[in-house]
Structure 1
Amino acid sequence: MFNNLSEKLDKAFHILKGHGKITEVNVADTLKEVRRALLDADVNFKIAKDFTTRVKEKALGQDVLTTLQPGQLLIKIVKDELVELMGGDVAGVNLSGNPSIILMSGLQGSGKTTFSGKLANFLKTKKNKKVLLVACDIYRPAAINQLHVVGDQVGVEVYSEPENKNAVSIAENAIKHAKANGFNVVIVDTAGRLAVDEEMMIEIANVHKAIQPNETLFVVDSMTGQDAVNTAKAFNDRLNFDGVVLTKLDGDNRGGAAISIKSVVNKPIKFIGTGEKMDAIDVFYPDRMADRILGMGDVVSLVERAQQQYDEEEARKLQKKIAKNEFGFDDFLSQIQQVKKMGNMKDLVGMIPGAGKALKDVEIEDDAFKHIEAIIYSMTPQERSKPTIIDVKRKTRIAKGSGRKVEEVNQLMKQFDQMSKMMKMMQGPGGKNLMKMMGGMKGGMPGMK
């Protein structure tokens, strides 16, 4: 996420390295590169220019603190300005209605239907809401079926009227159904449309007027960069939506949409899509995103994801096993599964401060654990529970069964042994608290040296 921008900003700040103070000359050279990095990230020229002007004014208008180097001070100023540019504070979704009605809008292909399912899953699991999805896309072939598939995936009911070609009446009937059946939230998925399509824009305006949503969200593909910003502005001029949803942010190496969309439409980014899975949705935090853009990681989000997978009862059982030296490969496999539930590996590594820079040339795939899992699954139940019985002969059989080399089996055994010793040490004073804080992350990065 934003790898190209992060790398270019890092190079820009290196200009100040070794300087004892900020001067108009060296800050101008640095901010010239910052502006160039923003433009390469597809940020609007005026926004990039105004941004660097504000940073320059603040940098030259204050003394460098004794605890900060000039480069550190400039990074702090840039971060503060980035946070402000992206909205400042986190903006929540309005759930005040009974039921709360959320109207989804956006271009065709922006990921609107999939995100409707993700949002339904988020509100169901995180907010304990009874959610109804409504299929109001009466134009795209198989759109209704797609929403039903998404609804089945997340365990949420979908309301549809396949024979009805009036989006307004479908939405109104869905609201009646929701009220009669005790739904807390109704998410209305509409057809994708262009802002220049007058007939389609009139239709969504009529739907909006008829159901009076508490929240109207505009869904846009972040990878389209400045086009996403321009599209959002055109829609906002017609629909006056409440917030923006950026999808496919996990594949966006530039970041132009995330940085500049708030400044252009003056509406907050409320959610981001970070992957294909139905739980790959995050509330948008401007301060955390600024940290990630500047290569500082996002430890808070990382720990939050770990806590979502944290099971206190399982953790207690695991601690007892570790204390008795009974930690085996089945337990190790369980920890891997917990880490995999936290999201795609590249995104997780990007949340670790400094890791993104250190591993910038390393390709981290979502199936990074598949070889380790293959080796473990090739072990017998007895071998998984008592790794000490695995001798040379067994290693040869395990390697053959998993399609891997004996050397890889040896490497896994060595890493497993080292990790077991480390976890045993963590059972001592001070270690237990760290174990509890890490929750589902314990043992989660096999293969890392």
Structure 2
Amino acid sequence: MRKLVVLLNLLMLNSAVLMAQDSPAKEGMSQLIDDQFKFADQQYKVLSKNVPADVMPQTYHAEKNKVQTSDTKWWCSGFYPGTLLYIYEYTKDPEILAEATARLGILEKEKHYTGNHDLGFMMYCSFGNAYRITKNPAYKTTIDTAAASLTTRYRPAAKVIQSWNASKRWGGPVIIDNMMNLELLSWVSDHGGDKKYKEVAITHANTTLKNHFRPDFSSYHVVDYDMKTGEVVKKQTAQGAADESAWSRGQSWGLYGYTMMYRFTKDKRYLDQARNIAKFILNHPNMPADLVPYWDFNAPGIPNTYRDASAAAVNASALLELAQYVNKKERKTYVTAAEKMIRSLASDAYRAKLGENGGFLLMHSVGSIPHKTEIDVPLTYADYYFLEALHRYKNWYL
């Protein structure tokens, strides 16, 4: 009995020591998260003043001191209201909620949009968060309608959702980004909507698993299908350094997408895929020490080339979710990596000063170097996934 008491006391002492060692780190992250949301609250008020009421912010051109805007059909149109909602969720600032509500008002009509696959980015990151936070039933109706619109792009013969319309370059292009839009379909099916939406999401995820990835678990950006037969015509990487290179944000979309699909299905193939993509990203010899990747893992000129803060933000958010589904050792690996990414993005190297950067939070993202667009600039989705990662860390690990 005495030995048992001694053993229990030792276990309690060790636990207390571990908690004491962990506490300063957690306290530091708690303060960092609080600081970032307070900053975001003020910075996005600056951004709101730089964006006319009928459009959405896209990026900022420092040389012109001008915020570039987009119409609501642009694939990123949902990120600005979504980011505002993440800020409101933390700060409860009514001014931020009012701005988010106004922007949702101009975006709502896009629930009928069928021009490409981006309805998930556009409508779930915005209205999905709005419904989750406010429980306004009108927002759910919008999400349900958007899911129906997205499924019009499903091609049964090829078992994929076609990303873009046919062009001179591709007949039936499907991009790795499309994995992100499966959240809209899966969520709607799980919340009273048509079950076929989730079936489409699963089928698309399975086809992508089969055709998009290389043996090292890196992915192509674009797979071109014959939509009548399902045959793969060619595999390319449009926004990366080369067809066989690993475009950084593409790897991030895959990591996030398969982690999210495991959440909805508990299909172990998806979990294993996410873990293998994480391994590729975190162990890549060209990953910088601060874990903010170069725009392509195989980019020419490394280390003297551009970083992509947006890829780091997506990675951080995805890893924090992936850590929920694995053993303690892996969990620690993923959370530690995500925390390092968050700390890097929150540092002066990547986060703007109040009133600067057009009102965006993060600097140094890359849209598409091959297309010479959005190079080393702020991007709305970098801010969105950065704040999502902060919420996840706060909710799950503090």
Q: TM-score, normalised by structure 1?
A: 0.24
Q: Which has the larger radius of gyration?
A: 1
